[in-house]
Amino acid sequence: MTNKTFIISEIGINHNGDIQIAKNLIDMAVRCGSDAVKFQKRDVETVYTKEELDKLRESPWGTTQRQQKEGLEFNESDYDEINKYCNKKNIIWFASAWDKKSLDFLDKYNLKYNKIASAMITNYDFLNAAAQKNKYTFISTGMSNYENIDEAIKIFKKHNCEFELMHSVSTYPCPEEKLNLHLINKMQSKYGCKVGYSGHEASVSPSVVAIASGATSLERHITLDRSMYGSDQSASLEEAGLRELIAIVRKIPKILGNEEKKLFDCEIEVAKKLRYWEK
């Protein structure tokens, strides 16, 4: 990792099971200057009970939860295509696995990073399995308390696996008054580690504040159109928003500068005009 903010465009399941939509989202992330794209990988039979999968749910794929969940999942040939396409476009890709089977499946692609979704931070068996992969791991902290985070960190330290926390509030979209961005600095101080930000708000400005506050990475969901089918679409950025966000984030280090108080040459010329009593 470098000092530059690492920007992750979260495709997640916003591809709606369509490989062409996934490619379009990868293209969008590349055009806007993202460092990586991220997907979500689940083994439906492992993650959900039969009772849950048999429940009724209307979706483009049918009338049950099973049909909806399976419709959103890519298979191995799809991920082969994603891997090939991201290599062609020269952008990093990785995924947040939601079960051990999916975690092992991703090994095929020799990915540089792992991601622990907020939903998985209390699944300590899964965390142990992930930490044993010894890949740099982003750990989202939504839906958790300090005790949960303490235990997750203990597991990753036990396996000597490098990690980065990501402050997150797991509502979609998240009201801005609930974002609590002060926790970025608080967790950096408390845990002595890097802390990024995984945002689910509908706007751009909170992510800018997060980076200006010291967040070391930024993850935002992206979409081709926020009106598309899907639970994450409304908390995602379309291309114009992503482009604006990344442009601002890349300028932040220059804007913040350093702690040196310096009289610039351009100020001296102004001083000659305004401090007439010094002439």
- Which pair of tokens denotes residue 80? 């082969």
Closest to 112 (Cα-Cα) out of 6, 200, 232:
6
- What tens digit of pLDDT does each residue of 70-96 get? 999 999 999 999 999 999 999 999 999
Return the SS3 of 55. coil
pTM of the entire predicted model:
0.95
> What is the architecture, at CATH level 2, of domain 6-278?
Alpha-Beta Barrel (3.20)
Rg for the chain, CA atoms, rounded: 21
Instruction: Report the DSSP pairing between strands 62-64 and 56-59.
Output: antiparallel
Domain positions in the chain:
6-278
- The pLDDT assigned to 278 comes to 74
Average pLDDT per block of 10 residues along the chain, 279 residues long: 83 98 98 98 97 97 98 98 98 98 98 98 98 98 98 98 98 94 98 98 95 97 96 95 97 92 90 81
